[in-house]
Amino acid sequence: MDMKPSIDRFRLGAFEITCFLDSRAIREGLTPSHGGPAMAEDVRALARANRIEPVRYEHPFIPVLLNTGKELVLFDTGNGALGQDFPELGKRSDGRLVDLLHYAGHASEDVGIVVITHGHLDHIGGLTRAGERVFPNARYVFGATEFDFWKRGENVRDSRKVNRELFMKIAAPLADRSTFIKPGDEVVPGVHAIDAAGHSPGMLAYLIESDGKRLLNWADTCGHYIVSIQRPDLHLDVDDDKDMAASTRKRILEMAVAEELFVVGYHMPFPGLGYIERRQGGYRWVPHGYQLNL
């Protein structure tokens, strides 16, 4: 039994926010996945300097639930039952989001809005189970550019072609229950979309604000809490547009520093909360202590 904490709840002004550890994977390949073979020694040195293993790393998946007091807004859905519903994917970490919602006092039927930051499988996998909608009463929010990219199916790189096929089975049928937005648009009062394209063609981050308190949900802008933040210029193999992703990382990191934002990241160490500190001309991830608990 995994006894690690899986639910973290806090107040943000008048809002209540809950982070869920849907699942986690131990992966090989901190290098060359980050930076490619040419930067392998740089990545290993960076890992050693930060006292983490230079090859193996933990990769968590952290959906976020916002309770506005009027409705529940879920950002991303985790892995769901992808491994069971699509055995061709091979071994995958099954998502626990529905069970965790229950432990947190909510049923999947209670969720009123599901926001998909981007169309990668670990974000859409929990939308359906055995072909049925997991959140039957929800409306859905997709970035218009993102949804259009996957629906058209043009210029999808080879490693994402299975992703595209499953997007068409899982997410595309939800179009008639969906709203399609662009950067700057509002999801609900206090929640606005921000351009975070690069990791995927139309990924959106979300700035959540209530009573002067602000939290940036940057989704997959940074894939690792050390490498992606201390070396945002390094390409990541899972980024769809690698140059754009690196440019976006630098822009979002600078925004987080300049505006003194707390951030939540889908793949940061659970509960995924922290802030960005400028350090020696670069950036550093500082984990949340107790600031959001007060």
Mean pLDDT of 273-289: 94
Q: Given its phi and psi angles, is residue 131 left (phi above 0), alpha (psi -120 to 50 degrees) or beta?
A: left
User: Which residues contact residue 175 at a Cβ distance below 8 angstroms, ignoring those fewer than 6 apart?
Assistant: 147
Centre a 10 Å sphere on the Cβ of residue 208 and count the other Cβ atoms it contains: 26
Write phi, then psi, for 249 (nearest 5 degrees).
Answer: -55, -50
pLDDT in tens, 178-205: 999 999 999 999 999 999 999 999 999 9
pLDDT at 258: 97
pLDDT at 220 over 90: yes
pLDDT at 1: 58
Inter-CA distances, 101 with 23, 115, 197, Å = 13, 16, 29
pLDDT at 62 over 90: yes
Rounded (5°) CA angle 107-113-114: 85
pLDDT at 245: 98
pLDDT at 280: 83
Mean pLDDT of 149-177: 97
pLDDT at 294: 84
Write down the domain spans for the chain: 7-293
pLDDT at 288 over 80: yes
pLDDT at 94: 86
In this prediction, residue 4 has a pLDDT band, given cuts at 50, 70 and 90, of confident
pLDDT in tens, 101-122: 999 999 999 999 999 999 999 9
Inter-CA distances, 288 with 8, 117, 252, Å = 11, 22, 18
pLDDT at 171: 98
pLDDT at 88: 87
pTM beyond 0.95: yes
Percentage of the chain surpassing pLDDT 70? 99
In this prediction, residue 91 has a pLDDT band, given cuts at 50, 70 and 90, of confident
- What class does CATH assign to 7-293? alpha beta
pLDDT at 3 over 90: no
pLDDT at 168: 98
Strand 111-116 to 72-75 pairing: parallel
